[in-house]
Chain A
Amino acid sequence: MKFNLSEDQALLRQSTRDFLTSEWPIDKARKVMEHDDSGYAADEWARLAEMGYLGLTLPASVGGQGLGAIELAIVLEEAGRACMPGPYLDVVLAGALLAAAGGQDALLKDLAAGKQLVTIARSDSAYASEATTVTHLAGGRVRGTKYFVPFAAAADALLATTPEGVCLVNGPFDVTPLPTFDLAQRFGEVRFDHAATLIGPPILLERNDHLAAVGAAAMLLGAMSRCLEMTLEYVQTRQAFNKPIGAFQALQHRLADMMLKTESTRSAVYRAAWCFDTNDADTALACAAAKAYAGDAARLVCGESIQMHGGIGFTWELDLHFFFKRAKTLEQHYGSTEVQLERALQAAGF
């Protein structure tokens, strides 16, 4: 038994951190988030493909690296730390769904090579989880409207979920942007009236949901770790009443709680990833628990980080708000806390 990363996994973490430090310094991430309408940088997307990140979990036969959820969690944690904008998690999930469906090798090769951008069109509602419209597959066509489709405007193809199953739909799409406060993520409302291919039954989504939960939880872990780090640095330098503010117990105890939440999230995320990779009987429960807990933990850690920075924490200039906003997106999407709680209850037979 061993919780620490293997040599290869530790190497992956280090090389990913090095890569993101040089390719995605926070200044660059800010520039893309604030000024690039697509919400990601096309040249950087090509670099991610070149480095093998897009095919991380895909089989070697389509140009992937054949790695598992633990490795994916490592990369996503680093991406979360870097506040890397773009559809990385969305494309990885679409790839996993295509791979699970089978028979999509040509598209997967393009996806891994960064030549085609595919995401999953899931939500049937702009607001609560109750569907306002349901997208259906009938007579070889998908008709309906999907909301909060990740990076819809940039997508070459979408995987639309319908009661009939998962459908592969090729663009172009009729997209209305749905701008949110999180500039690292772009969403669109997509009106479908497209020829489509049924690639698999709805049950395909079950394992994809588990991977989505672990993946989003890993990004949340990265975001909260980075916020906690920034805050720990700040409270040791910022002086008030002739002391570094980190010397005050009022802050120390809250920082201790932030540490507890962050490290507990780490335990939960990597355990869930391990369960996923080994098909452990606890996979459903572990993945749901990791995501539900990570969402709450990130809200606390990122929010407290803003609070402890005081006035500067409320400025656009400081990077913290980008993490704070990311955390809200990740909490709501990829299976909201409400959804994960119900999944956990079901998995435990409650």
Chain B
Amino acid sequence: MDLQLTETHLKFRDELRAWLQANLPRPWRDELRDPNATEDSLMALRRDWQRKLYKAGYLGMGWAKEWGGRGATEVEKSIFDEEIARADAPQILNFLGISLLGPALIHHGSEAQRRRFIPPMLAADEIWCQGFSEPGAGSDLASLRTSATLDGDDFVLNGQKIWTTFGPWADWIFVLARTDAKDRHGGISFILCKLDTPGVTVRRLRQITGESEFGEVFFEDVRVPRANLVGQIGEGWRIAMTVLGYERGAGSLAFSVRFGRDLAQLAATCRELGRTNAAVREKLGRLLVENEVMRANGIRTLANFADGNKPGPESSIEKLFWSEFDKRFRETAIDLLGPGGQLVRTSAEARRDVDWTREFLWSRAGTIYSGSSEIQRNIIAKRVLNLPTDGR
């Protein structure tokens, strides 16, 4: 057992830190509380930030250089996420394209698809959204009904996608569509569709935060060239499960850095407000302990990566931990701050340190997206603990 980063890793980290110091104009929390900030201006900022990272060679960390990536190891990827969190840099605009579609194309796409789609994806010239969930298919994703019927050299898409993250901001969507009504898993295909294709309608959905990061996408006799099929017909489910694994994969370490910073801020604020009684300290102490344990989970994953292990179903444990902890943390935070903890950021009286109400509301999303907590527990029960299925 050895949890010390190697010299090479430390060097990579120090270079990245120096780069962030020189290139990040100001932390994301400052951008959020800029009185002139709008949802559009923040998205534009995320686009610029992505381009800066791309130019510096910090995007597509794990991808081969051939595909515009860095060819970085899992450990470097994890260090990168941790340092981004430490610097409180914005999330890149094409987050879903790079974290989900990129790996899907690299592992399952054709050479032509990689050449066509990866460069503009990295350069933030084409923004992607994820067309998985439907009104009738959420946790039970395989029951999806959006259909893709072959007609000559085209697929014809009909149906509806919902909770489509970045839908209102994207140029393209990757869609899971049904190509065979009879085969539940094997009848799903992975198709790329430009959102300005005739027959596509994108509608914004307003989230509980008031923002519209997600939306819904309607397909009415939308013709998509067959060349936009990723993998083979019927391979969509397998591809989706692989890429969801990437989405779920790491992150504990980066989350512990973000939460740790906000938690330290919360402790300082409580002290400033004179809220130092035993009940307050116990709550702070429990949050601190959980965050440290989450960090330990992250270090363990990182060390396992460094030791040559690939992420497995245990990544469900990490996702369940951070997302459930996020809820407890944010809720406790606004409780400890008292009535003022519920002030929205436009209020002159709101705390300037952390946008506590936004964090509180956003924390409700983490246990739903990317496989709800219930789905994560199913995965742990079946694939880690090998418990029998209910049907037996």
**A264 near B293: Cβ-Cβ < 8 Å:** yes
Chain A 197-223, CB within 8 Å of chain B: the 1/0 string? 000000000000000000000000000
Q: Which A residues touch B381, using CB under 8 A? A: 249, 252-253, 255-256
Q: Is A178 an interface residue (CB 8 A)?
A: no
Q: What chain A residues lie within 8 Å of B148 (beta carbons)?
A: none
Is B3's CB within 8 Å of the partner chain A?
Answer: yes
A192 contacts B by Cβ under 8 Å: no
B1 near A5 with CB under 8 A, answer yes
**CB < 8 Å neighbour of A267 from B293, B376, B391:** B293
| A122 part of interface (Cβ distance < 8 Å) | no
One of B1, B9, B282, B387 near A236 (C-beta < 8 A): B387
CA distance A177 to B294 in the complex (A): 40
Among A77-85, A159-167, A337-345, the stretch in contact with B: A337-345
Checking B288, B385, B390 against A255 with a beta-carbon cut-off of 8 angstroms, the contacting residue is B385
Are B288's CB and A267's CB within 8 A?
no
Query: Which one of A243, A253, A293, A345 lies within 8 Å of B284 (CB-CB)?
Result: A345
Option from A6, A249, A256 in Cβ contact (under 8 Å) with B390: A249
Question: Is the C-beta of A292 less than 8 angstroms from some C-beta in chain B?
Answer: yes
Q: How far is the CA of A263 from the CA of B380 in the complex (A)?
A: 12
Residue of A nearest to B387 (CB): A246
A61-77 to B contact mask, C-beta < 8 Å, 1/0: 00000000010000000
Tell me if A248 is interfacial: C-beta within 8 Å of chain B. yes
Residue ID in chain A nearest B2 by CB atoms: A2
User: Contact between B292 and A274 (Cβ–Cβ < 8 Å)?
Assistant: no
Contact in complex: B293, A4 (CB < 8 Å)? no
Q: Pick from B282, B387, B389 the residue with the most CB of A within 10 Å.
A: B387
Shortest Cβ distance from B1 into chain A, in angstroms?
A: 6
Q: Is B142 an interface residue (CB 8 A)?
A: no
A6: chain B residues at CB < 8 Å are: 1
Q: Does A126 contact B (CB under 8 A)?
A: no
Cα(A232)–Cα(B380), bound, Å: 13
- B380's contact among A235, A259, A285, A348, by CB below 8 Å, is which? A259
Cβ contact within 8 Å between B289 and A271: no
Bound form: Cα–Cα A232–B281 in Å: 37
When distances are taken between beta carbons in the complex, the residues of chain A under 8 Å from B320 are: 256, 260
Measured CB to CB, the closest approach of chain B to A244, in angstroms, equals 5
Contacts of A256 in B (CB 8 A): 320, 376-378, 380-381, 384-385
Given A1-B75, A260-B320, A271-B3, A344 contacting B289 (CB threshold 8 A): yes
Q: Which of B1, B377, B384 has the most CB of A within 10 A?
A: B1
Q: Which A residues between 247 and 292 are near B, CB-CB below 8 angstroms?
A: 247-249, 252-253, 255-257, 259-260, 263-268, 270-272, 274, 278, 285-286, 288-290, 292
Smallest Cβ distance from B8 to chain A, in angstroms? Answer: 11
Given contacts A256-B385, A342-B281, contact A264 B289 (CB under 8 A): no
Interface string of B110-134 (1 = CB under 8 A from A): 0000000000000000000000000
Question: Chain A contacts of B4 at CB under 8 A?
Answer: 1, 278
Complex CA distance for A278 and B2, rounded to whole angstroms = 10
Could you say which of B284, B374, B376, B381 has the most chain A C-beta atoms within 10 Å of its C-beta? Answer: B381
Q: How many residues of A contact B (CB 8 A)?
A: 51
Is chain A's interface secondary structure helix, strand, loop, or mixed overall? helix
* A350 within 8 A of partner (CB): yes
Docked-complex contact B296 and A267, CB < 8 angstroms: yes
Is A3 interfacial (CB 8 A cutoff)? Answer: yes
B162 at the interface (CB under 8 A from A): no
- Rounded to whole angstroms, the CA-CA distance of A249 and B3 in the bound complex is 37
8 A Cβ contacts from B312-371 to A? 314, 317, 320-321
The yes or no answer to B285 lying at the interface (CB within 8 A) is yes
Residues on B with C-beta less than 8 A from A342 are 281, 285
Q: Assuming the A-B contacts A4-B307, A6-B1, A267-B296, are A350 and B288 also in contact, with contact meaning beta carbons closer than 8 angstroms in the complex?
A: yes
Determine the residue in chain B with the shortest Cβ distance to A2: B307
CA of A345 to CA of B384, assembled, Å: 34
What is the distance, in angstroms, from B269's C-beta to the closest C-beta of chain A? 11
Q: Which of B317, B376, B387 contacts A264 (CB 8 A)?
A: B317
Which residue of chain A has its CB nearest to the CB of B381? Answer: A252
A14 within 8 Å of B (CB atoms) = no
Contact A248 B300 (CB under 8 A): no
Contacts of A236 in B (CB 8 A): 387-388
Question: Which chain A positions have C-beta within 8 A of B307?
Answer: 1-4
| Listed residue (A5, A6, A264, A267) with the most chain B CB atoms within 10 angstroms of its CB | A267
B150 at the interface (CB under 8 A from A): no
Residues of B within 8 A of A176 (CB): none
Q: Which residues of B contact A274 (CB under 8 A)?
A: 1-3
Q: Are A260 and B1 in contact (CB under 8 A)?
A: no
Task: Fill in one digit per residue for B264-306: 1 if any A CB lies within 8 Å of its CB, else 0.
Answer: 1001000100000000011011101110111011011011101
Using CB atoms, name the residue of chain B closest to A254. Answer: B377
Query: Given A4-B1, A345-B284, A348-B264 in contact, is the A293-B289 Cβ separation under 8 Å?
Result: yes
- 8 more CB-based (< 8 A) A-B contacts, given A1-B306, A257-B377, A290-B296: A1-B3, A70-B1, A260-B317, A267-B296, A272-B296, A290-B293, A345-B288, A348-B288
- A-B interface, 6 closest residue pairs, ranked by CB to CB distance from nearest: A341-B285, A289-B292, A252-B381, A1-B306, A256-B380, A350-B267
Provide a sorted-by-A list of 11 A–B residue pairs whose CB atoms are within 8 angstroms.
Answer: A1-B307, A236-B388, A243-B388, A255-B381, A267-B297, A271-B299, A289-B288, A293-B293, A344-B285, A345-B281, A350-B264
B residues contacting A by CB (< 8 A) are 1-6, 9, 75, 264, 267, 271, 281-282, 284-286, 288-290, 292-294, 296-297, 299-300, 302-304, 306-307, 314, 317, 320-321, 374, 376-378, 380-382, 384-385, 387-392
